[in-house]
Amino acid sequence: MLGLALVTLISAAAIFAPWIAPHDPSAANFLAARQPPAWNPDGSLTYLLGTDQLGQDLFSRIVYGARVSLLVGFLGALTAVSLGVTLGLLAGWFGGWTDRIISSFANLLLAVPYLVLVIVIATVLGRSLVNVILLFGVTSSPVFIRFARGEALRLKQLAFVEAARGLGAGSRVIIPRHLLPNIVGPLATLATFEVSAMIFYEAGLGFLGLSVPPEVPSWGNMLSLGRRFLTTHPWMAVFPGLAIAITTLGINLLGDWLRDAIDPRSQEGG
Amino acid sequence: MLKYVASKAFESLALMVGVLVLVFFLVRLTGDPVALMVPKDAPDSQREAFAINMGLDRPVIEQFLLYVGDVVRGDLGDSLRQRRPAVDIIFERLWPTVQLALGALAFAVVLAIPLGLAAGMEPNGTWDKIARTVGLAGQTIPSYWLGMLLIVFFAVELRWLPSFGRDTAASLILPAVSLGFSGLGQLVRLTRSTVLEVRRSDYLRTARAKGVATTHLAFRHVLPNVAIPLISVLGIQFTYLLGGSVYIESVFAWPGMGTLLESAVRDTDFPLVQAITVFIAFVAISVHLLTDLLYGLLDPRLRIA
């Protein structure tokens, strides 16, 4: 249940950011630049986790940064699931050329090392939140294409689908009414892990300076800035990274719990 | 077997052609490749000259065929910034990246197999708890962040190891550990679950009933069966490491293909970005082909499928 608690905490931080953050995340205060965290002898309680080189409050920026991470994670995963499941079910159900074209698309995206693919597309598209969500949505869809295709192939042979077909139901009825509901369970687990993977990759892209615009407070952008001051002011990079690790931990624990709840057979591994 | 090899080889070739199509059209996706490659303040006359020089004024299909022809001859285009063949630049940076990826893989495999084996042989024991923690940590700790933490701790505080560059053999340690850590987590989980599966099999119960000692059981009966799924994952891992090395090379200023890609992106040196992508993709596809073939060699059942 630690997972649910962590995810709730981070989501609350994202939603209620203006009320939680003690400072405007973009307010610079040059008199208080590069302050260490409050528990350091040189720190102050005004800036709980210290400040960056512009004197912006790190705690406030981390709270606001949760917004970018969660938006990219959830909307990106949603895009990947919708696109992947639609294409995968069509491929599995119709077979033939439909399958060949869709499967080649998936195989092609999987052939290029994921991070390289993401970096190249991000460079072409340019830095914006919508671009980043679309980028992750499309490049992560092959996982769901493969999953949905396999499930469609399996379900196609089962008696209830055959019965529906015998009663005269067409693909327009069978795919959304008979196939889709039967894959929702395992799909939910797969999608949960995808959310945490995307948060991970978005921050990595931000770290390379290729995600949302630099003035937007995001964990990746903070890391990208913090690494320049790593040897003298390590907290500037340590805290945003910790936020990423805690978030992905929460979501992964939630995913594990979801998998065990939906499929009791998977419990044997613990 | 020959049919299996031929079909796998054909698949790989088709993927390579696919990668060329993907990369070629990606650069033209925005509609104006010239705008991507030329500085924003360049005068129109320079833009036109650039377009003609790069062959961008010709029909797209003709451009593509010329491009494929060049690639087949081993010419991946010229770097805009350095004004020399991209292939030459890539080969200068290839070895450091391969070295880093192999170091990371070695770190992951050497720790993961004994840990996963010990964990799987005694579920819920001490080793199992350690293995599960490592598995979860590998999944949640971002490699680039781990790299920065290691620098702060081992290079800045303790001054044991160098924090950047590739000057001594010790320079490899921190980057390889950061890069290999998530792979370590995955391999531990895989080894552990495979061992658990093997332990339930009939032949293992028979061996146990015969009175075979636990260590002998682990090394002679369980380990060889763990090797098969491991090999296919190692191929995937290697590809993943090639991509992941971009972050780690950037953190540690490691002079490999990752930092090359990063600087090419920063300089908007698109021909070089394109060349690196094609090159890495080709390497990844070849590694996959090799693992597929090796897999077929080790597990005869797969050749039929």
Residues B88-129: pLDDT tens digits? 999 999 999 999 999 999 999 999 998 988 888 888 888 889
Residue-wise pLDDT tens digits, A39-93: 777 777 777 777 877 778 888 888 888 889 999 999 999 999 999 999 999 999 9
Which token pair is B158? 């303790």
CA separation for the pair B9, B286 (Å, rounded): 9
Query: What is the predicted pLDDT for the residue at A148?
Result: 93
Indicate if the pLDDT at residue B240 is higher than 60: yes
Looking at domain A2-263, its CATH architecture is: Orthogonal Bundle (1.10)
Query: What is the predicted pLDDT for the residue at B303?
Result: 62
Interchain proximity B27–A210, CB inside 8 Å:
no
Indicate if the pLDDT at residue A236 is higher than 90: no
CA distance A15 to chain B (A): 23
Nearest to B284 among A113, A124, A125 (CB): A113
Domain ranges of chain A: 2-263
Indicate if the pLDDT at residue A164 is higher than 90: no
Query: What is the predicted pLDDT for the residue at B302?
Result: 62
Nearest to A244 among B145, B192, B266 (CB): B145
CA distance B106 to chain A (A): 20
CA separation for the pair A11, A24 (Å, rounded): 19
Interchain proximity B18–A203, CB inside 8 Å:
no
Query: What is the predicted pLDDT for the residue at A270?
Result: 39
CA separation for the pair B183, B139 (Å, rounded): 9
Indicate if the pLDDT at residue B300 is higher than 90: no
Average pLDDT, chain B: 84
Contacts of A181 (CB under 8 A, 6+ apart): none
pTM check: above 0.80: yes
DSSP per-residue letters across chain B: -HHHHHHHHHHHHHHHHHHHHHHHHHHHTTS-HHHHHS-TT--HHHHHHHHHHTTTTS-HHHHHHHHHHHHHTT---B-TTT-SBHHHHHHHHHHHHHHHHHHHHHHHHHHHHHHHHHHHHSTTSHHHHHHHHHHHHHHHS-HHHHHHHHIIIIIIIS--S-SSSSSSGGGGHHHHHHHHHHHHHHHHHHHHHHHHHHHTSHHHHHHHHTT--HHHIIIIIIHHHHHHHHHHHHHHHHHHHHHHHHHHHHHHT--SHHHHHHHHHHTT-HHHHHHHHHHHHHHHHHHHHHHHHHHHHH-GGGGT-
Nearest to A231 among B141, B156, B268 (CB): B156
Determine contact, residues B136/B265, Cβ cutoff 8 Å: no
Query: What is the predicted pLDDT for the residue at A268?
Result: 46
Determine contact, residues B55/A145, Cβ cutoff 8 Å: no
ipTM, two decimals, is 0.83
CA separation for the pair B184, A132 (Å, rounded): 29
